[in-house]
Amino acid sequence: MNLLANAEIDNASSGPGNRTRTVAGDLSIGLSVLVTIAFLLLGSLNFIYSYSRDRENLNVKAAELAVSATEVLASPVWNIDEREIQRLIGIFLQYDIVTGARLVDERGQVMIERRKSFENAHLTLTRPVERGGSVIGQLTIWYTAAAIREKQMETLGFLGLALAAAIVAVNLGTRRLMTRYLKEPLDRLISGLDVIAAGDYRFKLPAASQEEVNRINSSVNSMARELSIRETALEDNRQRLELLNLAIMDIFSGHDTASLIDQALKSTARLAGASVAAFTPAAQSSSTNEPGEQPIPRLLAAGQILDLKPSEASLETATRLAEIDESNKYRFALKSRHRHVGDFTLGFDKPLDPPTHALVKSITSLATVAMIRQSFIRESAFLTAELKVAESVQRATLPAERATNPLQNSWAEIDYHYEPVLRVGGDWIYVLESPAEKSVYALMGDVTGHGIAQSMITTAVSGALETLQNLMLTGEEPPVRSPSQILGLVASVLSKVSGESNLQMTCAVVKIDFRKRKVTVANAGHQYPILLLPSGTSGPLAPKAITGGLAPILGMESETQQRPEDAEMDFPAGATLLLFTDGLVDGRSRSGNTFHRAFFHKLGTIPSGTRPRAIKETIISEFKRHTSQGSVKDDICLLVIGSSSDGGAKA
């Protein structure tokens, strides 16, 4: 097809406005130019040579004529016979090379001077006239080259005519020869190429008389044969690919293992022509934990799947395969992710060629891929269901989602924001109320990583804290009195449920005593809690980090394990406490800047008396604006606690 496209481009470029050039025409013009140059060179050389030769002859003849004239004129000059001198000078002037003559006596007196023309003489010769050894006069003869020039012009005219005749003869002759021995074979070759380019690869160029053209024709015929073979192979491959695509759709459309195996058997018989195709399941292994049904034996014969009982299928399969020569049997294993499902046995009437054998292997490989895909789908569905349950359980532990919320009639006003980066995360919040102490315990933790394992840790901790909350609500004497005790309880739960996973957790426990107006903190490697202190009725809140009460990160092994201690400070009226995880301050903007600096700057602009909900919404709104074109790669937790009994609070 490329040849046809090139021919179309050539035809387009040789339209009415373009002159078409041919090899014969170019060769004719080239030969004409060469002949012209050769004639010009030869003519120039001949002209120069003949001109030089004629001038030399003129000089010789002039010298001879001058000598002859002096000898003839000696007697008349001596006798002073003017009539004879006139007659003799007239005779000499009849020569075409003589244009004039002058004779003087011994005294220098001009005796006679005659000229045929007054053109510049080509040659002037003066010779003495002697008589008896004495000089009796001098003869001067003027010679002309007009005859030579006339002769050369005739020669040039003849050469021009000969050159024109030669150019015409060469042009016509070469065109005729080129047309016969070059253009016609090339036209036949081009016509044959057009036929081949149109797709008729069976066309064959005839043999040519010229060896070179015949070799080109042979090469073109060989190319056509190769193209025909490749075209046939491409068509066969195209048909195989279409059938293979159908097989892929059929195999992958199977909704269970049985339908997948049936489609693989049918596709093998349809594509490769298997006369018998059977599937034998592998022995069920009790060590595998992969979900999925156990397949039954299958047999395909005469294009039909035989629905037999396992024992009947085995007997029928053995009988059918026994009729096939062992060299014409092919076996392939069907595997899933964690188990050997079974084996395909294919029987053919004759040995398979390599392409068909490769096609059979492709089909069985597709069956294995489809089997693995089914396994992934089953496992994904199972994990999705488990993840949904884990998400529901984890969200049920949040303060506003708990079945029993002890803070509905509390002294504290609480709001929070919880946003895991995945469906479940490692950040958690819990709030406890101690009516006997008129106190609130706020807890926030961050388990390393994200996922189901982390959600299990947070759920276990929440379960222990739920038990502790029930004890606080029902008992007269609170079971714990300090954040450090609760932090120790959380550490104990983490060590029991994490096992050998080496999971670690940062955790901060804050106790707000509304009776004594005190806040107590125990912090195991968590972000410092922030205390927002009022600075008047109209001034902004003053943020202050609580840096005391530090303890090691929970789950971190240490030979000198430091016991958690409590740090206490005042919690005046109008104050607000913030707890947050590192996911909040680590959120990045488009330019890569974290939210840490913008967070603390925003805290310093919040007016005194702003309620916890408004503080939370202000912080989260600023966080989303900061990270709108950036990235958030960690769970986000924010807990805001203030006194609900403070008067004059802003909405």
SS (H, E, C) 295-335: CCCEEEECCEEECCCHHHHHHHHHHHHHCCCHHHEEEEEEE
Is there a contact between 381 and 603 (Cβ–Cβ < 8 Å)? no
CB 233 within 8 A of CB 349: no
Q: How many CB atoms lie within 10 A of CB 439?
A: 23
In the prediction, which pLDDT does 443 show? 94
How many whole angstroms separate alpha carbon 522 and alpha carbon 505?
A: 14
Torsion on CA atoms 340, 342, 347, 352, rounded to nearest 10: -20
Residue matched to tokens 């954040």: 483
Contact 534, 570 (CB under 8 A): no
Q: DSSP code of 112?
A: E
Q: What is the largest CA-CA distance in the chain?
A: 188
One-letter amino acid identity for 337? R
Provide Rg for the chain, Cα atoms. 60
Q: Give the model's pLDDT for residue 597.
A: 92
Q: For residue 220, how many other CB atoms are within 10 A of its CB?
A: 18
What pLDDT is attached to residue 581? 93
- How many CB atoms lie under 10 A from the CB of residue 588? 16
- d(Cα 198, Cα 566) in Å, to the nearest integer? 93
Assess contact for 558 and 552: CB atoms under 8 A. Answer: yes
**Gap between the Cα atoms of 567 and 434, Å rounded:** 19
Q: How many residues does the chain have?
A: 651
**Both tokens assigned to 440:** 């609130």
CA dihedral over 624, 626, 631, 634, signed as positive or negative: negative
Provide the pLDDT for residue 12.
46
User: Which residues of the chain register pLDDT less than 50?
Assistant: 1-17, 285-289, 401-406, 408-409, 559-560, 646-651
Report d(CA 353, CA 166) in Å as an integer: 69
Neighbours of 388 (CB within 10 A): 12
What's the confidence (pLDDT) of residue 254? 66
> Angle at the Cα of 304 (from 303 to 310), degrees rounded to 5?
135
- Helices 184-197 and 211-252: crossing angle in degrees, nearest 10, is 10
State CA 113 to chain mean position distance. 103
Closest of 549, 520, 523, 545 to residue 532, by C-alpha? 545
Taking only the tens place, the pLDDT of each residue in 156-205 is 788 788 878 877 887 777 777 777 777 777 777 788 888 878 878 777 87
Q: Tokens 């489809």 belong to which residue? A: 370
CA–CA gap between residue 74 and residue 58 (Å, rounded): 24
**10 Å Cβ neighbour count for 105?**
15
